[in-house]
Amino acid sequence: MARFRHDNKIKFLIIFASILLILLCLAVIAWFRTGEEASVGIFSLAVTLLGTLFIAVELKNGQDVTCSDMLIDLNNYFHDSDRLMKVYDVLERHETDPEACRKLLKDVRSVEVAHYCTFFENLYLLYRHHIAEIEDLDDLFGYRFFIFVNNPYIQEKYILPTSSSYIQIFKLYDAWTAHRRRKDGPDWRNRIPFSKYMFSPEYLKNRLYLNDLSLKESDGPVTFDTKGKQFTIKDCTFENLSEILDLQRRCTDALPDPDIYYPLSRDELLESLHLDMVPGIFAPDGRLVAAAAIVTGRISERNLAEGSDDDKKASFTFDAVFVDPDWRGYGLQRVLIDRAADKAREAGAKQILATVSPDNSHSLNNFATAGYEIIATASKYGGLTRNILRYDLTAR
């Protein structure tokens, strides 16, 4: 490898140091003007640049630095960093208890989480430039990587809301999980912390992370009164992901027959938060008490429309709707049904389809009152009998 001439090396360092100084100044200005959260992105970029500078200088110097030496240095840096170790300590002590971890992570500053994430973005640079292979990184950093990116609170609070900014993390995740599958065989998931919350191969293959909420149009919250109570309806965000799943669980637990409702998986809900409509209704105390997942006109197995791709694009699908058992009787399901119709019209859709169990008389009545008609009965969701309902948007 060719060496830098001394004067070129100095110029190289001066340019990068200047850029770094500018970014840090911008971070300080953002901090005083708008608070910590607004400066995290700039700070993260600055730290990433610093890490890239370190790697670039090592390479350009042409010194006989082995991959092992570099990894040892990075490992020492990790352990010597108060920011990194503060985040890791919370994650590691509560590996089997995500809720306890969630509570403690609320005391961790955003800038510390950004620093942890940036460390692994720099590891991706090593991998991308063939300086280190995943197997080189795995022994030292694999546990520390997965315990971070698979933590549900980290995902919902930090990564998912601006997921298109974390492309390097997701690419590293894809490569790392592929390595674990090859290395550990059929039981590879059991060797990964928080495996319940892993991003699926389909999620990574379809690059859903490129569709974050900052790129979606979203209506502001709307309040409405019913039976003396004031509710708020608004689009759910990734920070509501665990809350939605908890609401769904309470609803299914209260059903006399579990086959009446086929629950959404976490992966399906995550997909809809990226691509579809997930309106939620919040009680006066701010608690989520009703939600729906409405698949917009896109090509998907979850789209119930039959026929050509054009037919699917002209059709919305009411994929799920559930109301907290403690808040039934307030007409909340009907509010969500009406909101779906309004949004489908705005999007130029021709119809909305839904599936309802023949034994779910309450939901059947709500959909019928809203103008839905039963058009077929079919076996769905692994053999469950469902009525297929249709709402014709062109007739109204």
Ranges of the chain whose pLDDT falls below 50: 1-6, 8-9, 12, 30, 34, 37-38, 42, 59-60, 62-64
CA distances to 15, 122, 230, 334 from 227, in Å: 65, 55, 8, 14
Give CA angle at 249 (246, 254), nearest 5°.
130
Q: What are the φ/ψ torsions at residue 52 (nearest 5 degrees)?
A: -65, -40
What proportions of the chain, in percent to the nearest 5, are helix, strand and coil?
60, 15, 25
- The pTM of the full predicted model, rounded to 2 decimals, is 0.83
Q: 154, 105 in Cβ contact below 8 A? A: yes
Looking at residue 316, its amino acid is: F
Domain boundaries, the chain: 66-213, 216-395
Residue 182 — left, alpha, or beta (φ > 0 → left; ψ -120 to 50 → alpha)? alpha
Could you tell me which CATH number the domain at 216-395 has? 3.40.630.30
φ, ψ (nearest 5 deg) of residue 379: -90, 120
What are the tokens at 103? 């509570």
Q: Contact 272/293 with Cβ under 8 angstroms?
A: yes
Structure tokens at 88: 């890791």
Among candidate residues 396, 298, 279, 302, the one with its CA nearest the CA of residue 355: 302
- Maximum CA extent, the chain: 80
pLDDT tens digits, one per residue of 236-267 = 999 999 999 999 999 999 999 999 999 999 99
pLDDT of residue 60: 47
Could you tell me the sign of the dihedral formed by the alpha carbons of 147, 78, 115, 61, in that order? negative
Nearest to 352 by CA among 324, 321, 331, 330: 321
Taking each helix axis as running N to C, give the angle between helix 82-93 and helix 98-105, from 0 to 180 degrees, rounded to the nearest 10: 150
What DSSP string describes 86-121? HHHHHHHHTTT-HHHHHHHHTTS-HHHHHHHHHHHH
- Which distant-in-sequence residues (6+ apart) come within 8 Å of 306 by Cβ? none
What is the pLDDT at residue 240?
A: 95
Task: Please state, in angstroms and rounded to a whole number, the distance separating the CA atoms of residues 18 and 298.
Answer: 47
Q: Say what the pLDDT of residue 130 is.
A: 87
pLDDT in the model for residue 202: 95
